[in-house]
Structure 1
Amino acid sequence: MDAGTPDPYGRIHYRGLIAWPARLAREAPLLRRVLGDAPLDLLDLGCGTGEHTRFLQALGHRVTGVDASPSQLAAAREALPAAPDLPPARFVEGDLAALAELVDPGFGGAICVGNTLPHLATEAALDRFLAGLASRLAPGAPVLLQLLNYDRILDRNERTFPVNVRPGEDGETVFLRLMTPQADGTVIFTPATLRYRPGAEPPLELVAAREVVLRGWRRAELEAALARTGFTANDILGGMTGEPWSPTAQDLVLIASNT
């Protein structure tokens, strides 16, 4: 992110809006299966506030998290455990499309989860990211990519996700995510954070909202991009708990290797 550019994620507090211990417990078996038991140098791409980075670090991996948001990375660095017995973890700020310029080669695996890929909104940006990733991975290194299942979202013209309500410091925090699919495959995505205090006036207040144009990458488009940039797709799932993919699955999870 360029100096002086406002951080669009500065007021979106994702850490408090996700039940992270439960989520990581659900995802742990698949992450272990894909990444294996041997300690690796791993990339956590689109790492946000670093929950997956710290989880992988606790498993014994050396992890580099990459994200474009200074505020998310600041929160990630603050949460790193002061534990000298753990392998090192670090965070790098930058655009994923410029990954080859951000980190050195030689990584033994990578994850990119949490609907990060749609922020690469053009085929050129996606290819640049994947080609850069391929250049930074050792031969045969595993890659796990997870995003929403845009085959379902676009085909059904879905407009919103279930409302997420979490405890907050002053009332409850409501996380609302609206979508407006476009004919060109992009999606106008509007996440909003609200404060809900029954009995107060007003009982519901807007805390933060933003709008971003995402690319709703379909399965076939991502498989083609992986093939173009030197990856072999080994498995395709419908979620991080390992269920088979279908056009109506919740997510699209691609497990690939660098060839």
Structure 2
Amino acid sequence: MEPGRDRYGRLSYRSLIAWPERLKREEPLLRRVLEGGPSRRVLDLGCGSGEHARFLAALGFEATGVDASPSQVEAAREADPEGRYVLGSLTALADLVEPGFGGALCVGNTLPHLTEEDDLRRCFEGLASRLLPGGVFLLQVLNYDRILDRGERTFPVMVRPGEEGAETVFLRLMTPHADGRVTFTPAHLRWRPGAEPPLELVSAEEVQLRGWRRAEIETLLTAAGFAVRETLGAMTGEPWNPTSADLVVVAARS
């Protein structure tokens, strides 16, 4: 993220995602992986507005959220004043949090915001320094092997209840590039059928991401001292294949 620029300041992810349904789907894998760590102290990397951190706290974990977006950290703190949320880059984990965590998760397509190989290396090395021996790491990103190979341009449109009789439309466009980078354009629209105009743009941003492939992620994890245990195709636990929706990696610090 550019210094001084919060590209997600106008996007309310708390209202754009069906969080209860998502967390219910993800709970079995979250429990299985994180309960296998040496401590119930966990890091939520790219915590956003704190939904995963609060969910994990309700399951008995001691969660610390880290995010580079001031607006998202502020939203997390407002929703959970007793929680712990740290503002900063995932490339500086060794400076942001103390060591001694038993596990970590990084989900929701956070990792592609680290666009350079050196940034991702520093993230993984910093995380390894904060985890106890045997500490577990659950990582989820979109399956960029599929996206880049197929030149995909968009995700399914999301429609959610809005305010004052309107509906909220979340549109996500992508422009893949030959060097593995992806121009991501999330847009929030207000839909009022019968009104004039029926569709209004509330906010839109353009964000430069890196479409990390499976081999790149696993190579850098191994170099940072992690052992890859599983590679899945979704947070519901299906095996990964080149056309899977997601790339989910379960690793442990050596």
Equivalence map 1:56-71=2 (5 Å): 56-71=56-71
CA distances 1:4-44 after superposition (whole Å, capped 9, x unpaired): x1321111011111110010000000000001178611100
> Which residue of the partner structure matches residue 55 of structure 1?
55
Q: What SS class does the counterpart of residue 60 from structure 2 fall into?
A: coil
Q: TM-score, normalised by structure 1?
A: 0.94
CA distances 1:65-97 after superposition (whole Å, capped 9, x unpaired): 00011111111111117xxxxxx6300000111
> Which residue of the partner structure matches residue 180 of structure 1?
175
> Which residue of the partner structure matches residue 41 of structure 2?
41
Q: What SS class does the counterpart of residue 169 from structure 1 fall into?
A: coil
Equivalence map 1:155-194=2 (5 Å): 155-170=149-164, 171-194=166-189
* Cα distance in 2 between the residues matched to 1:196 and 1:35: 40
* Structure 2 unmatched ranges of 5 or more: none
Equivalence map 1:180-219=2 (5 Å): 180-219=175-214
* Cα distance in 2 between the residues matched to 1:257 and 1:244: 18
* Structure 1 unmatched ranges of 5 or more: 82-87
RMSD: 1.4
Q: 1:153 aligns with which of 147, 157, 164?
A: 147
Q: TM-score, normalised by structure 2?
A: 0.96
Q: 1:222 aligns with which of 214, 217, 226?
A: 217
List structure 1 segments (4+ residues) > 2 angstroms apart after TM superposition.
Answer: none
* Cα distance in 2 between the residues matched to 1:187 and 1:2: 16
> Which residue of the partner structure matches residue 129 of structure 1?
123
Aligned residues with identical type, % of pairs: 68
- Say if 1:238 and 1:245, in contact at 8 Å, map to a contact too: yes
* Cα distance in 1 between the residues matched to 2:5 and 2:99: 30
Pair 1:103-2:102 in alignment: no
- Say if 2:39 and 2:103, in contact at 8 Å, map to a contact too: no
- Say if 1:39 and 1:60, in contact at 8 Å, map to a contact too: no
Letter in structure 2 aligned against 1:20? W
Q: What SS class does the counterpart of residue 21 from structure 1 fall into?
A: helix
Letter in structure 1 aligned against 2:208? V
- Offset at 1:2? 8.1
> Which residue of the partner structure matches residue 84 of structure 1?
none
Letter in structure 1 aligned against 2:96? L
> Which residue of the partner structure matches residue 75 of structure 2?
75
Letter in structure 2 aligned against 1:60? G
* Cα distance in 1 between the residues matched to 2:134 and 2:75: 33
* Cα distance in 1 between the residues matched to 2:2 and 2:31: 36
Pair 1:254-2:253 in alignment: no
Q: What SS class does the counterpart of residue 101 from structure 2 fall into?
A: coil
* Cα distance in 1 between the residues matched to 2:39 and 2:60: 6
